[in-house]
Homo-oligomer: A and B are copies of this chain.
Amino acid sequence: MALGEFDLIERYFKRPSVSRALSPSRNTPHADVALGIGDDCALLQPRPGTQLAISSDMLVEGRHFFPDVDPATLGHKALAVNLSDLAACGAKPLAFTLALALPRVDEPWLAAFSRGLFALADAHGCTLIGGDTTQGPLNICITIFGEVPVVAGKSQALLRSGARASDDLYVSGTLGDARLALDALCGTIQLPAEVLAQARHRLEQPTPRVALGLALRGIATAAIDVSDGLLGDLGHILKASQCGATLDTSSAIQLIASRGIESWLSGRFDIEKKLQNQLNWVLAGGDDYELLFTAPASAQAAVMQAARSSATPVTRIGRMDAEIGLRLVDTNGQPVSGQFASFDHFA
């Protein structure tokens, strides 16, 4: 017998109090969720002195993931990209809604998808409070809610608009691996199996930098998550903060995590083409979900302490300038040329 819409929600997505039970280490009382799945609306009651940070992301088959993607990793990624937006605001995850269009009711698919989704949700103490399911081309839309304190009337949210000239520019973790995997899976390049496996993990199961975002509250002056590519997302900070930046490509180019890529590239391309390829993945890759942020030079020790306390590597890759525009330089401060296009969903 076919599973109906309400049975589907009941079986795969309604978990009264289960989220708490599964993550005892994060078993803080969520007074915030006054009512979860099952009525016309969910009810959230934010704690006094807090704001709610809200973000929505829609994932579409063939655009954000391959039709044959493992549904468990898809469940992970659908929530991860939203958690990453909270991280970029320095918001503590609270809850999310899930709207899901499915071509058909495929129970093994739903079981794996919800397993991947809830594993990440539980790790962040983030409760599914409502949503919608319908028949249609596969589409996953999550809206996520996080908490940001307001101190002395001032929101502690990290915004894109707070960067100032002479601030240092930092990025967390590694860059370019997701794009490397995408190029390989699309057949543009051929990668050795072990390199592809590493890169593919980054593409399919990104790690939202929630702990770092929280640790950077009061330290970072501006932040964004790298989803469309480093240069494009840096451009959003420059525009919102009305300043420029100088980016040290010799620091950035080291940021690809996949081991073996260096020697594999060296065997295939001359040195200039190799650097160009590597730089392109790092600067314009997309789907990295690292945090790109700025902080005053005087806060360098605090930034490094935030990195340690959140167990998240952080690299300084440049500085903000009063002069509008972005300048790419090499290790000697000489200009680097090149065309790097960020990701646009309609390009």
Contacts and interface: CB of A to CB of B under 8 A. Distances in A.
Copies of this protein in the complex? 2
Point out which of A40, A58, A346 has the most chain B C-beta atoms below 10 A from its C-beta.
A40
B134 A64 contact: yes
Interface string A155-196: 101011100000000000000000000000000000000000
5 contacts: A40-B85, A40-B86, A40-B224, A134-B345, A137-B137
Contacts of A99: 56-58, 141, 143
Q: Which of A4, A56, A64 has the most CB of B within 10 A?
A: A56
Contacts of A125: none
B43 A148 contact: yes
A338 interface: no
A2 to B, nearest CB: 6
Interface stretch (A44-52, A260-268, A280-288, A308-316): A44-52
A99 to B, nearest CB: 4
A23 interface: no
Interface in A120-153: 129-137, 139, 141, 143, 145-146, 148, 150
B157 A35 contact: yes
A42 B64 contact: no
Nearest to A137: B137
Given A97-B143, A136-B139, A8 B346 contact: yes
A204 interface: no
Contacts of A3: 346
A88 interface: yes
Interface string A12-25: 00000000000000
Interface in A37-77: 38-46, 48, 51-64
B41 A89 contact: yes
A3 B177 CA distance: 29
Most buried by B among A139, A141, A160, A347: A141
Nearest to A157: B43
A240 B51 CA distance: 31
Contacts of A347: 2, 4-5
A272 interface: no
A290 to B, nearest CB: 13
A336 interface: no
Nearest to A44: B52
A344 interface: yes
A137 B135 contact: no
